[in-house]
Amino acid sequence: MHGKASAIRAGNLWRKYRLRPDEYDALREQQGYRCAICGTHEDDIPPSRTGRPRITGEPPAESFRLVVDHCHATNRVRGLLCTGCNTAIGHAKDSPETLRAAARYLDTAQELGSVAS
């Protein structure tokens, strides 16, 4: 990423997470370039085109494959996740109890086998 795009990315990282690009890169390296939940390597995550279209009408730029996960109560950065894992914990409203209940549900369903209709 070069020029204006990198400046925009740096501004977004700082404004949203108080994170500099070099800190984001260090976190990527620390996590082995993998999602902190599912372990998928960033090279195996397809780039997404999320966000608002540009003022010029162009589609949004490709986003980073590992997104910053943060606590909504404290704004503290927790790690980097793939979009799927980030969305999953968001839908669970960051509730460990809900996610544990979901895991128990899946474990039970797997033990019982699928219910065919």
Domains of the chain, by residue range, sit at: 3-112
Residue corresponding to tokens 């699928």: 114
DSSP state of 108: H
Instruction: Work out the average pLDDT over 1-23.
Output: 85
- CATH no., domain 3-112: 3.40.1800.10
Confidence of residue 96 (pLDDT cuts 50, 70, 90): very high
How far is C-alpha 79 from the chain's CA centre?
Answer: 9
Single-letter amino acid code for the residue at 80: L
Categorize the per-residue pLDDT at 82 as very low, low, confident or very high, splitting at 50, 70 and 90: very high
Confidence of residue 6 (pLDDT cuts 50, 70, 90): confident
Q: Is the dihedral of CA 91, 54, 5, 62 positive or negative?
A: positive
Q: Is the pTM of this model over 0.75?
A: yes
Q: Considering only residues 44 and 6, tell me which one the structure prediction assigns the higher pLDDT.
A: 44
